[in-house]
Amino acid sequence: MESYATALPLDVFADSRARFESLVAMLSGAEARAGSHAELEERLHTDGMELLRCLFQDHLRLRALQEQRVDVVTGSDGVPRTRAEQGRTRTLATVFGEVEVERIVYRAPGAPGLHPADMALSLPREKHSHGLRKRAALEAVRGSFDDARAAIARCCGSAPGKRQIEELVQRAATDVDDFYRHHRPEPAEADTLLVLTFDAKGIVMLPADLREATRRNAARKDAAGGQRLTSRLSSGEKRGRKRMAEVAAVYDAHPVARTPLDIVPATALDREDKVKGPVATGKWVTASVRDSCKDVVAAVFDEAQRRDRGRARTWVVLVDGAQYQLEVIQAEAARRKVTVHIVCDIVHVIEYVWKAAWCFFPPGDRAAEAWVGEQTRRILAGKAVKVAAAIRQKATLAKLSPAKRAGADTCAGYLHAKAPYLDYGRALAAGWPIATGIVEGACRYLVKDRMDITGARWSLVGAEAVLKLRAMHASGDFDAYWQYHLQREHLRTHTVHYRDQLALAA
């Protein structure tokens, strides 16, 4: 192994050292004494970032000077590269600013050049560093891409363009599915409940990324013409612009037996004595706008089976009552020959009871609240069908018009239709959860709070990446994922291009 005959300067870090001394001199002088703390903060942040950039640049210069030339570098294509060219440079945009990376490239006729120093530094394919990619992933899941760009600029002094941030976020989400094939909570004991819960929310998409059926319906409406508004969407238009994002969660919970009064207390004493419900542990959240409801349900059942290979645990499925979703879940359970106990979310049921209440009470009447509480406790006691009949009878006896009793009839119809999934008496006695709060919260966090920003129109790739990363945040796995992602990036960007791993001199 030989090295190029390049004399090392006495101090490669001379530029950084000079900047540091200049900063110390400024802080020691009259200029700093005359400034406010806010002015000093701003100056230190700006000059400090430039100092860090210079330190990084000087370090890269030192590595370039110390890089050892080897006789031959053989790629994974089997071609030996014996011709070495020194001083080949590329730009790297970092969280401190842009730096230049100088290294040796090894060439052979008809074969792409190889840069062993790039592998030693684990450089990305693109201009932007992994540090910037991570910041883009963290910021873009919190707010719009414009907001993410502004946040990165505030922190780093400059930021990639909006399009580049979108691309960085997409790259950041590349390994999410693969990560979760190897990183899931350990199976719990047999007496621990296994809870599966599902929800869905529409995302406004670019026309090209709508599902085929939605695109056809939208085209049919366009062809039919009709009245359209210019300043806002007309009735029914938004429906034709959305694609459903499927959100689901799997978690473990120890059963906690409760009574209807624990859910809806009737008195102050009941509120003091009420028992808290099961606590979720080992939560895993998934979301996809690319995959269909069937695909997401199958993935969730895969995770549930992984946690209960011996079929010894009780499976509870919490849903909001959507018919198609119920049919998919039942079909998947039948296909796998697994017993599931489906329970409709009690919060959705209460909303239907409130619709009925306003048929019988004037707006703002506190008696309506007491009536809703009583009907809910009866439903929680397992008397949903009887409550439905009583509501219809009350509307009939009150001689309400069809329009006036619409809410009551809707509630009664819902209670009858979902009666098989409203056996709350059994669920409470067995200690099961009866609310979809975890997946509802996940759906609101994953979809509505980020994807439903006013004016947003999503591409399929962009929406899927943000959903995956937000789901990972919701599961608390981002830090572990990022280390895994960097390992995978190194493998596919560098390792696969070499026949043997190279031990490079630093």
Those residues whose C-beta lies under 8 Å from the C-beta of residue 80, and which sit 6 or more positions away, are: 72, 73, 74, 108
- Paired sense of beta strands 80-81 and 83-94, if any: unpaired
Helix (H) or strand (E) run with residue 203 in it? strand 193-204
Distance CA 350, CA 53 (A): 58
Which candidate, 326, 293, 285, 303, places its Cα nearest to that of 194? 303
What is the pLDDT at residue 454? 72
Distance CA 305, CA 284 (A): 14
- Paired sense of beta strands 193-204 and 315-319, if any: parallel
What is the pLDDT at residue 506? 33
Backbone region of residue 122 per phi and psi (left: phi > 0; alpha: psi in -120 to 50; beta: other values)? left
Paired with 108 in beta bridges are 111
- Paired sense of beta strands 193-204 and 111-114, if any: unpaired
What is the pLDDT at residue 456? 77
Helix (H) or strand (E) run with residue 293 in it? helix 293-307
As given in the structure block, the two tokens for residue 442 are 């996940």
Distance CA 63, CA 103 (A): 8
Tell the burial category of 136 from Cβ atoms under 10 Å away from its Cβ (0-12, 13-18, 19+).
buried
Q: How do the domains of the chain map onto residue ranges?
A: 188-343+440-476, 346-434
Distance CA 100, CA 205 (A): 39
What is the pLDDT at residue 227? 52
Which candidate, 390, 360, 392, 393, places its Cα nearest to that of 375? 390
DSSP 314-380: PEEEEE---HHHHHHHHHHHHHHT---EEEE-HHHHHHHHHHHHHHHS-TT-HHHHHHHHHHHHHHH
From first to last of its 506 residues, the chain has per-residue pLDDT tens of 444 445 555 689 999 999 999 999 999 999 889 989 999 999 999 999 999 999 999 999 999 999 999 999 999 999 999 999 999 999 999 999 999 999 999 999 999 999 999 999 999 999 999 999 999 999 988 888 888 999 999 888 888 999 999 999 999 999 999 998 888 888 999 999 999 999 888 888 888 888 877 767 766 655 555 555 554 555 555 556 888 889 899 999 999 999 999 999 999 898 898 999 999 999 888 889 999 999 999 999 999 999 999 999 999 999 998 999 999 999 999 999 999 999 999 999 999 999 999 999 998 899 999 999 999 999 999 999 999 999 999 999 999 999 999 999 999 999 999 999 999 999 999 999 999 887 777 777 677 777 777 777 888 999 899 889 988 887 888 999 999 999 999 999 999 999 865 444 33
What is the pLDDT at residue 464? 92
Cβ neighbours of 256 (radius 10 Å): 17
What is the pLDDT at residue 239? 56
As given in the structure block, the two tokens for residue 170 are 């997409």
DSSP state of 252: E
What is the pLDDT at residue 54? 96
Distance CA 248, CA 449 (A): 17
Cβ neighbours of 74 (radius 10 Å): 17
Distance CA 486, CA 489 (A): 5
Are 198 and 421 a contacting pair, CB within 8 Å?
Answer: no
Collapsed DSSP state (helix, strand, coil) of residue 73: strand
CA 124 to chain CA centroid, nearest Å: 23
Paired with 244 in beta bridges are 202
Those residues whose C-beta lies under 8 Å from the C-beta of residue 457, and which sit 6 or more positions away, are: 204, 205, 206, 241
pTM of the model as a whole? 0.79
Residues, the chain = 506
- Rg (C-alpha) for the chain, rounded Å, is 31
